[in-house]
Chains A and B, each alone.
Chain A
Amino acid sequence: NAGVMQNPRHLVRRRGQEARLRCSPMKGHSHVYWYRQLPEEGLKFMVYLQKENIIDESGMPKERFSAEFPKEGPSILRIQQVVRGDSAAYFCASSDIGTAATEAFFGQGTRLTVV
């Protein structure tokens, strides 16, 4: 059973370009979380999705950021018109929610560098 897969592992974008980060959850998992981690900082919650639904996007910046988790395919975190401050590691986690007691499993992350 493959773990949570994120790609690309490293992404370099020029200011103003779009960044697309992909996350394939573990098999059978229907819940996905996205977190951002700045160097030497903790994990900041961004968004929580179920298939075709955004459950909680309270951590998402109001502009330029969006996320989806379609019925088929990976979850996508999209950052439009990237700026240098978007440079960070973005982690995806998935869980098979039967109850809130279920742990989430993390991918290796995508390290976005904006130049």
Chain B
Amino acid sequence: AQSVAQPEDQVNVAEGNPLTVKCTYSVSGNPYLFWYVQYPNRGLQFLLKYITGDNLVKGSYGFEAEFNKSQTSFHLKKPSALVSDSALYFCAVRDYNTDKLIFGTGTRLQVFP
């Protein structure tokens, strides 16, 4: 079965520093990977996706993610964190057979001024 894992419950980073939010996946076949962000009391917003092609995917709000097939990872990155980036981040994989979108447990990003 397809799955994603987010090994960190929380990531703390100082404003202006680079940030990384980790995600690893387990799929059979080609992975379709997504990152979403959730601000307090809001729904999830789509950030970016990897389908095929370049391993570095650029998305909204300056975020990017690096697909690494050998490490089965899809880490979310940003060169310079903002306090306003503080939110809950979810990695997701699309089940190739059922089209079901499966989410990780989420990582809370806290950016300190």
Contact = CB atoms under 8 A, between A and B. Distances in A.
A48 B98 contact: yes
Main secondary structure of the interface of B (DSSP, over half): loop
Interface in B30-68: 32, 34, 36, 41-46, 49, 51
Interface string A38-55: 000111010010000001
A115 interface: no
A56 B98 CA distance: 8
Interface in B79-113: 90, 94-96, 98-106
B96 A42 contact: no
Main secondary structure of the interface of A (DSSP, over half): strand
A106 interface: yes
A63 B8 CA distance: 34
A48 B97 CA distance: 13
A29 to B, nearest CB: 13
A45 B105 contact: no
B65 to A, nearest CB: 13
A12 interface: no
